Structure 1
Amino acid sequence: MTSTGPPSVHEAVGGDEAFLALARAHHRRCLADAELEHPFSKLDQHPRHVERLGAYWAEVMGGPPRYSRECADQSYVLWLHSGNGDIDDLGRRFLACFVAALDDAGIPADPRLRACLRAYMEWAVADVLAWSPTDAVVPDGVPMPRWSWDGLVR
């Protein structure tokens, strides 16, 4: 049976392998950034961080729920990034690395797809930064975000 509707963002990007390539390219760019290098080279980072990041992005974009089944939930993701204080500049740098990594990973250059991915990352950075105050307490049960061609699925 074939699908009759437009492809999901996950499919348009190229599936799980494309998201893994994107996570690898993004991580390399972050390590090469003078400001992002420190948090991205921490010794306590999960040994499969890049693979988990690729699985997370794939799931958010309509792929299989591998991240939430095998790794963690959204509350954990937000908790990992919470309490860091004012990190707005890191957020801007993170976004710039993501946008540049789209080319590095060979993500299709379709303008609609690129705009969708950029809009997601702008939203995701803002979401993480909302939890950056040093006294932030992330609640349990934050739902996994789902992103479509039209933005955040509520």
Structure 2
Amino acid sequence: MTAAGRPSVYDAVGGEDAFLALARAHHRRCLADPELEHPFSGPDQHPQHVERLAAYWAEVLGGPARYSRGCADQTHVLWLHSGNGEIDDLGRRFLACFLLALDDAGVPDDPELRACLRAYMEWAVADVLAYSPPGAEVPAGAAMPRWTWDGLSA
């Protein structure tokens, strides 16, 4: 429970299994998108991409630190997405797939929860896109983001 007496965003979504279902639904949506399909099916895709994505989202949204302890850190996440050039349309498509995947995965249809998840993903896409210009330098030691009901936590 948070200080305000409500569950974390992680718990409101449904915990680990719900985040895995969301990452799987999102991945399916991205593979079905003609522009996102290539980056989501390319040879550079990690074999546990979906599981890692679920762990990342879960950690950022209040769950256990499985991603940062067992996979990578925020600097690595930003580096993976850096230097790809103009990809604003991919960001919009990624967000659209995420929002549709909420229903596919059975995330509770709570307007406050959905607004929180949308705000997080809009912020996350913008954060990643900030490093998309060729030659963009990713800062070492970037802090793992923490997103709460009130937005990005300091």
Q: What band does the TM-score fall into relative to the shorter chain? A: over 0.9
Matches within 5 A, 1:28-43: 28-43=28-43
Q: TM-score of the superposition, structure 1-length normalised?
A: 0.97
Give the Cα–Cα distance (whole angstroms) in 1 for the partners of residues 27 and 52 of structure 2. 12
String of CA shifts for 1:37-61, please: whole Å, max 9, x gaps: 0000011211000000000000000
Matches within 5 A, 1:98-137: 98-137=98-137
Displacement of 1:94 after TM fit?
Answer: 0.2
Q: Which residue of 2 aligns with 1:97?
A: 97
Q: Secondary structure at the match of 1:114?
A: helix
Write out the 4+ residue segments of structure 1 that deviate beyond 6 Å after TM superposition: none
Q: Percent identity?
A: 78
Q: Which residue of 2 aligns with 1:153?
A: 153
The residue type paired with residue 19 of structure 1 is F
The residue type paired with residue 86 of structure 1 is E
Q: Which residue of 1 aligns with 2:9?
A: 9
Alignment of 1:23 with 2:23, yes or no, is yes
Give the Cα–Cα distance (whole angstroms) in 2 for the partners of residues 127 and 111 of structure 1. 24
Q: TM-score of the superposition, structure 2-length normalised?
A: 0.97
String of CA shifts for 1:96-134, please: whole Å, max 9, x gaps: 000000000000000000000000000000000000000
Matches within 5 A, 1:60-79: 60-79=60-79
Mind listing any 5+ residue stretches in structure 1 that lack a counterpart?
Answer: none
How many matched pairs?
Answer: 153
Give the Cα–Cα distance (whole angstroms) in 1 for the partners of residues 78 and 49 of structure 2. 15
Give the Cα–Cα distance (whole angstroms) in 2 for the partners of residues 89 and 79 of structure 1. 19
Displacement of 1:3 after TM fit?
Answer: 7.9
Displacement of 1:139 after TM fit?
Answer: 1.5
Displacement of 1:24 after TM fit?
Answer: 0.2
Q: Which residue of 1 aligns with 2:83?
A: 83
Mind listing any 5+ residue stretches in structure 2 that lack a counterpart?
Answer: none
The residue type paired with residue 132 of structure 1 is S
